[in-house]
Amino acid sequence: MAEAEEDCHADLVRTDDNERSGEANLQAELQMFRAQWMFELAPGVSSSGLEPVPCRASSREPGLKSVDARGKQEIAKEEKAKELFLKAVEEERNGALYEAIKFYRLAMQLVPDIEFKITYTRSPDGDGVGKRCVEDSKEDDKMADLLTDFQQQLALQESSVKLCQPEVYVSQTHISALPMEVLMYIFRWVVSSDLDLRSLEQLSLVCRGFYICARDPEIWHQVCLKIWGRSCNKLVPYASWRDMFLERPRVRFDGVYVSKTKYIRQGEQSLDGFYRAWHQVEYYRYLRFFPDGQVMMLTTPEDPQSIVPRLRTKNTRTDAILLGHYRLSQETDNQTKVFAVIMKKKEEKPVDYHKYRYFRRVPAQETDHSFHVGLQLCSSGRQRFNKLVWIHHSCHITCRSTGETAVTTFDIDKMYTPLFFARVKSFTAYSEKPL
């Protein structure tokens, strides 16, 4: 009986060993199949390039190791290419184009289509391009609700807490002690009659209270009324009066529109007749707009450094300046145009009676000259409403005695170069009147 039990026990052990070896072979086959499948899905590898798989389990282990090594190499190569590509993007944003091209080339040598595999969710330094893009979008959302957030914070505070408080104790009276009406009057002086909204935005960076005051709808409504007049009674489709000021096309008042024109003119022939001189003519056109609807225009060969300071006020002594009025017009084609009528400043000359004392002379007919100008308002580059393109220019001569008017229209050709805006800090350095 003991020998029979030992034989039965030995048979059971053999059966268990056979089942374990079969299960191990099955696991090895499954792992090999997974490795082959992942290798075939890898870019640039086809199933036809694979070698036939042996059936024996002893020969599968080296093949599995080689496939894993190849997969790891491909992954490492792609990670290195991503790192180089993101570094090239960073260098390009910093202005180092030569270094950026070098890193772009190295990345594409490793993985030719690396550009399409970048998700911009991270960078090699951990604070990369994608992360900054996500942070910027979050900051934009936060800035959109900043005014509401500040108002709620002030509303939750005690009633004794003022709009703004000094960071350190001061013995003198702080500006926060002023009533709200006085503060708003100061803000209107900051904006001034020149509509210096840039200074208002800078003032809003001082504290939360000043930020709320600078977003006062009444200030921005008055600014819009001064620019567009009665045509801006309705706020739709803009979310606020400030959004209307930022988005709606308008001319800019904190600088001057300048154009430079060059052409070559043939001169007179020399006395000996051997040559004829050629002259290069160069001149500038300046346009300065004011919030009250007035405009100044000047055509001169003098450069902007000497002319721009004279255009600060309308009471300039430059004789060649033309003064007039302008209006904004938005046509059916959604293009904003500027139409202006300008003329030379009238100067009353004293009548010289001694000139006609001894003989009768028929005086020349007095005429008035006015120029009609049409310009299309455009945006160029990152700046908005900084370009004026000529669409019309004509001269109207009116006889005072008869009232007849002769119109001469000029052809808009290459001599009428576009005018580009240039900001002048001195134009808004002083405030003459509040808003």
Q: How far apart are CA 286 and CA 259, in angstroms?
A: 7
Give the model's pLDDT for residue 130: 42
Tokens of 73: 């190499």
Least confident of 5-9, 99-103, 312-316: 5-9
Percentage of the chain lying above the pLDDT 70 cut: 71
pLDDT tens for each residue of 149-177:
665 655 545 444 456 777 777 788 878 77
Check whether 327 has a pLDDT greater than 70. Answer: yes
Give the model's pLDDT for residue 49: 44
Radius of gyration, CA atoms only, the chain? 40
Q: How far apart are CA 408 and CA 392, in angstroms?
A: 11
Q: Which helix (H) or strand (E) holds 40?
A: helix 2-41
pLDDT tens for each residue of 344-387:
876 655 555 555 555 555 556 778 888 999 998 888 878 888 88
Give the model's pLDDT for residue 258: 92
Q: How far apart are CA 65 and CA 71, in angstroms?
A: 10
Ranges 72-76, 269-273, 278-282, 324-328, most confident: 324-328
Check whether 270 has a pLDDT greater than 70. Answer: yes
Band (122; pLDDT cuts 50, 70, 90): very low
Give the model's pLDDT for residue 7: 55
For residues 67-73, average pLDDT: 74
Check whether 1 has a pLDDT greater than 60. Answer: no
For residues 254-273, average pLDDT: 84
Tokens of 251: 């001319």
For residues 409-431, average pLDDT: 86
Instruction: Name the H helices within 248-341.
Output: 304-307
Please state whether beta strands 336-344 and 367-380 pair in parallel, antiparallel, or not at all (unpaired).
Answer: antiparallel
Give the model's pLDDT for residue 256: 92
Give the model's pLDDT for residue 177: 79
Q: How much is the mean pLDDT over the chain?
A: 76
Give the model's pLDDT for residue 146: 64
For residues 329-342, average pLDDT: 80
Whether residue 24 contacts residue 57, with contact meaning beta carbons closer than 8 Å, is answered with yes
pLDDT tens for each residue of 126-153:
444 444 444 444 555 555 566 666 656 5
The phi and psi torsions of 260 (rounded to 5 degrees) equal: -120, 130
For residues 9-19, average pLDDT: 54
Give the model's pLDDT for residue 84: 86
For residues 43-68, average pLDDT: 50
pLDDT tens for each residue of 233-262:
777 788 888 888 888 888 989 889 999 888
Whether residue 53 contacts residue 46, with contact meaning beta carbons closer than 8 Å, is answered with no
pLDDT tens for each residue of 167-220:
777 788 878 778 888 888 989 999 988 888 888 989 888 887 888 888 888 888
For residues 50-78, average pLDDT: 61
Please state whether beta strands 276-289 and 336-344 pair in parallel, antiparallel, or not at all (unpaired).
Answer: unpaired
